[in-house]
Amino acid sequence: MNARSLYRTLVLYLVAVSVSTAGALAQSDPLPSWNDGANKQAIVDFVEAVTAEGGADYVAPGDRIATFDNDGTLWVEHPMYTQFVFALDRVKAMAPDHPEWKTTQPFQAVLENDMEALGKAGEKGLLEIVAATHAGMSTEAFEKTVTDWIATAKHPKFDKPYTELVYQPMLDLLAYLRANDFKTFIVSGGGIEFMRPWTEKVYGIPPEQVVGSSIVTEYKVIDGVPTLMRTPKVAFIDDKAGKPIGILSHIGKRPLAAFGNSDGDYQMLQYTTAGSGKRLGMFVHHDDADREYAYDRDTHFGTLNEGLDDAPKEGWHIISMKDDWKQIFPD
């Protein structure tokens, strides 16, 4: 072998070793955007325990279910829930066809950007806004409205699309669980038909694995076309005690792992970790004001009060965004 051939062979060998080593290093850390620590280790230990065939905690792939809240757990929820922003934008877009809204609350507050008056409208006012902006159309029309909005709307603080403000550590966690034959579900208080148009693209979670709040839908034949029409009546609220009911109705199995960030997820974690065998319950704690937001007990969106108090006795983990996550959003 001449010198040129020898050199070429050596270079190819070094490249192959480098690629192999890089791949091995990547595979050695299943949660690369997490800092090493107790919470990261708890996730790895849990996954290894329930996937080790012959082990005391082994769970068959068909029963490996993990549920995730959406707002504040998978993506940003401050300064207000994204679907609420969507509803407010819809009021403004629809206002030319509703001149009466200029003098009718809570719509007047929306049009005048009067957040104080809107806050006083309370849950009743919110339901009125949702009824006016989410109903009276087919499910196909609503899906297009959501898809068009989510493609252009930007967060007021970060000036990025909401779908780019998802948490990279949770994306890593979803991928890690699915690589170990877990089926991952969203179980959110948000509207099921608001989330379904985009969750597969953003999280890899298909529409049939999304559980959420819903309104009454009616079957009608319009101009000879079978159509599902959305009405202003609330059918189901998938929040707090409603989450275990939604899980039973849509999934039919108790999860092995559940992840949330607020007291709205308390019952989901409680229901999940009450099952037999190895279980995992985790709350994401928003304590990073520099990279995102810091809030827990005193907030209108994503209150974490009871969960913080009871996590130690329930055996739940509190994920610190500040300490446990190397990064918040994807690069």
CATH numbers and ranges of domains, the chain:
33-78+161-324 (3.40.50.1000), 83-140 (no CATH)
Tell me, what's the pLDDT at 123? 74
Tell me the whole-structure pTM to 2 decimals: 0.90
pLDDT score recorded for residue 21: 40
Beta-carbon contacts of residue 160 (< 8 Å; ≥ 6 apart): 154, 329
* Spatial CB neighbours of 63, under 8 Å, sequence gap ≥ 6: 253, 256
The rounded distance, in Å, linking the Cα atoms of 85 and 88 is 5
Residue 114 has φ and ψ, to the nearest 5°, of -95, 90
Write down the pLDDT at residue 4: 52
Task: Provide block-wise average pLDDT over 10 residues at a time, the chain (331 residues).
Answer: 50 42 58 98 98 98 98 97 96 96 95 89 85 95 98 98 98 98 98 98 98 97 97 95 98 98 98 98 98 96 97 98 98 87
Looking at residue 2, its pLDDT comes to 53
Query: Are 310 and 265 spatial neighbours (Cβ–Cβ below 8 Å)?
Result: no
Long-range pairs, 160-166, Cβ under 8 A, ≥24:
160/329, 162/75, 162/76, 162/82, 163/75, 163/198, 163/201, 163/202, 164/329, 164/330, 165/75, 165/76, 165/329, 166/74, 166/75, 166/202, 166/203, 166/329, 166/330
d(CA 242, CA 229) in angstroms, rounded, equals: 24
In terms of phi and psi (left: phi > 0; alpha: psi -120 to 50; beta: otherwise), the region of 111 is alpha
Integer CA distances (angstroms), 133 to 88, 97, 129, in order: 8, 12, 6
Nearest residue to 216 via CA among 196, 232, 227? 232
> Sign of dihedral through CA atoms 222, 227, 230, 235?
positive
Q: Is the bond into 312 cis (omega within 30 degrees of 0)?
A: no
* pLDDT given at position 28: 87
Give the C-alpha separation, 184 to 60, whole Å. Answer: 15
pLDDT of 125:
86
Please tell me the distance from the alpha carbon of residue 109 to that of residue 116, in angstroms, as a whole number. Answer: 8
Dist CA 278 CA 256 (whole Å): 7
Three-class DSSP category at 50? helix
- List residues bridging with 230 in a β-sheet: 217
